[in-house]
Amino acid sequence: MVETLVMSAPRHTERAVDGTTVVELRGEIDILTAPSLGARLDDLTAVALPGLVVDLRAVSFIDCAGLGVLCRARNRVMERHGRLRLITDSNQFRRILRGAGLDGVFEIYDHLPEGLAAVPGGVLTAAAG
């Protein structure tokens, strides 16, 4: 029996709210999905003063490749004097960050900040993985 691995992106939606891009991720962020997600986050962080919110509340799994993508996005945002916020209500994800020595590295919230939870302007893109 032969197995075929298919590279795919985690499902996500994006929207712009007052100069900030909100990316809502769903599913798994792992070695298979990280490259395409990383490429998209690279695009979003290529501008001066990027404002990016990554909502991880619907992510069911993240591995070290996924953490690497988030770290790269953070570094790119910091280099360009922008702001990256992660949204998660998962204690497991916070434990993963602590275990990886990344606690305190990210700006993390349990819920979308006021004003970003609304959907003004609608969805910019939607991708299925």
Residue 82, in any domain of the structure: yes
Residue 21, in any domain of the structure: yes
The domain that holds 81 is classified in CATH as 3.30.750.24
Residue 79, in any domain of the structure: yes
**Predicted pLDDT of residue 117:** 73
Greater model confidence, 40 or 127: 40
Q: How many structural domains is the chain composed of? A: 1
Give yes or no for a contact between 54 and 29, defined as CB atoms under 8 angstroms apart. no
4 Cβ partners below 8 Å, 6+ apart? none
**Predicted pLDDT of residue 115:** 77
Residue 4, in any domain of the structure: no
State the pLDDT confidence band at 8, using cuts at 50, 70 and 90. Answer: low
Per DSSP, 117 falls in state S
Q: Could you tell me the residue range of the domain that residue 86 belongs to?
A: 11-127
Write the pLDDT tens digit of every residue in 42-85: 999 999 999 999 999 999 999 999 999 999 999 999 999 999 99
Burial code (b: 16+ CB inside 10 Å, e: under 16) for 15-42 equals: bebeebbbbbbbbbbeebbbebbbebbe
